[in-house]
Amino acid sequence: MCGICGQFNFNESRIIKKDFVAVNDSLIHRGPDNGSIKVFENVALGHRRLSIIDLSDNANQPMSSHDERYFIVFNGEVYNFLDIKKDLEINGIKFYTKSDTEVILNAYMHYGDKCFSMFNGMFALAIYDNIKKELILVRDQFGIKPIYFYQDDNKLIFSSEKKAILKSKDVILNINKQALLEYMWYGNPLGNNTFYREINELEPGNIIKISKDKITNFKYFNINSIKEIDISEQEAINRIKYLFEESVKRHLISDVPVGVFLSGGIDSSAITAYASKHYKGKLKTFSICFDYDKGVNELSLASKVAKKFGTDHTEVKISGDDLINVLESLDMSHDEPFGDAANIPLYLISKKLKGKIKVVLQGDGGDEFFGGYSRYNTIKNKNKWKILSFLPKLIELIQTENTKILRFQRFIDAITQKNQYVRNALLLTMESKYRNPIKVFNESMKNELKKLNPFERYKDIYCKYPKILDYSQALFFTDSQIVLKDTFFEKVDKSTMANSMEIRIPFLDKELTEFALSLPAKLKTKKGVPKYLLKKAFKNLIPDEILYGSKKGFGVPYGYWLKTSLKEYFLTQLNTDHVKNFIDIKVVEKMFYEHLRDKGNHGFLLWKVLILSIWLNKNKRIFNV
């Protein structure tokens, strides 16, 4: 796991190496073990290394091919690199390191673009051909690892984080109003949008080829190519057990110790079960409790799992003190507003464990690929709610501020939408057209945002789905493209890499995910049971009280913090001249004082306003309205 960056000057102007040092060093938190830069006149490649596989200096990057034609910078892990290496050796290719980076580079030289479909892992990389003078950027199929790029008439700059681009010279930036709108609806921008109009994300499963004269962008992976299979329940269960165990085995490949975040839920418990079986040595597991979870946690369940599988278990207690510094640190980690407050516990635990362990497995993805959310069953029964479609308008007429009634209004409005992509978008947000989040903006900004469609990303992916894709299956496909990439992977990558920690996600294994998406949706949520197939697959492996017990978990109490420890800070951040260029202060203050009286269900919207305000105040020299 590392940080990568680079620049390609179309006008062939020379890049001065010492001018690129600040760009590369802005990523030092992602790779404290080594930092190097390679310049080829008008092209630069930079790398910050977190050493995980082949700890020797021979595996440092940028890495060149033996003939020095190709150079690579790579962030991530390719877990099947040893299998690919064997095939390449059969074809007479010699290797000089034990790293996956060298395998990736040689696979590209041997197979060309086809190699990226062969890789099972998480990756964002750049390869420069010093003969053809061509640079390519590539991202893994679900976007676990990030890569951003800035482009103008003279140059293209890419990086693992936007902060490296911001360090570059002669970069002109404007605020992206579509991203601002999406943030207010969902808590983060969607698709390739960032808060900077001139900076885009490379889409998952995509390749960009850059030369002096042209830029081409094309897919090497298309989720719509996955077809539903006809399979019996028992066959599906057996296949899941096999694929998941193989995935965990692959995710343990490392030359440094590997641990597991063990929450006491199904997904992390299954990872722990198989990891403890295949890990060479005593597996370290970590469970977390916070001083704000009010005793509602799964520490006792996690402890039982750790005892069952004989792990070296540690309960880590984290304090929510010093929240202001945490919020401002996370603002710097994300480089733009990010509304999911679950980044706070991830940031705190990775900070607590910094220097103690580099690689940790965790259970993201189990819900999205195997039906862990209630909406997968709700969508199957959407027609039964039609009879209540009149209620949202009626509730609006009575102008209630009752939180429970407003939540019910939001749900009924979402589930009774005629348009499929709007319906699913509204099921995945805490906002609604009856409480449109753009109300927090001043008239000028509000008028700009009214011209834009907050559901544009959903519309874009839904119009590409095969017509035979049923409602439930479309929701699985959508979650894997939007919820995971735009919220969960962004949250995990930025909050943990800020503290030099690599998070691996066994549920995102290439073979496992493609199989899961090919399963009929009705099988994954059979009898209305969440994670039906996973529960069957892990029977007799995980204790029944975990498989069939109610998941406790805990929420991050941002609503409570806004009333208490962050009350003054919220008002201070809100009431600045720069924030007033965007926000209607009177409207927000009215909502804030209603929130203090437990009225209006404004908690998450106010939290997003706070995070936006912090970012605006820190970036007032960059942006004008």
Active site residues: 2
DSSP 487-533: IIIHHHHHHHHTTT-EEE-GGG-HHHHHHHHHS-HHHHTGGG-TTHH
SS3 173: coil
SS3 421: helix
Q: What angle do CA 415, 453, 423 make, to 5 degrees?
A: 10
Q: How many CA atoms lie within 13 A of 115 on its CB side?
A: 23
Cβ atoms of residues 538 and 547 within 8 Å: yes
Cβ atoms of residues 479 and 516 within 8 Å: no
521 dihedral zone (left: phi>0; alpha: psi -120 to 50; beta): alpha
Q: What's the full length of the chain, in residues?
A: 625
> For residues 127 and 133, what is the distance between their CA atoms, to the nearest angstrom?
11
Burial 425-441 (b: 16+ CB within 10 A, else e): bbbbbbbbeebebbebb
- Of the candidates 216, 211, 181, 185, the residue with the CA atom closest to the CA atom of residue 195: 181
Please name every residue paired with 542 in a beta bridge, in sequence order, or none if there are none. 539
Please name every residue paired with 206 in a beta bridge, in sequence order, or none if there are none. 219
Residues in Cβ contact with 150 at an 8 Å cutoff, skipping those fewer than 6 apart: 156, 157, 158, 165, 168, 171, 196, 198, 199
SS3 9: strand
Helix (H) or strand (E) holding 273: helix 266-278
Tell me the angle at which helices 490-497 and 323-334 cross, rounded to the nearest 10 degrees.
Answer: 110
> For residues 352 and 342, what is the distance between their CA atoms, to the nearest angstrom?
16
> For residues 19 and 468, what is the distance between their CA atoms, to the nearest angstrom?
53
Residues in Cβ contact with 446 at an 8 Å cutoff, skipping those fewer than 6 apart: 438, 439, 584
Cβ atoms of residues 309 and 543 within 8 Å: no
Structure tokens given for 379:
């969508």
Structure tokens given for 233:
């329940």
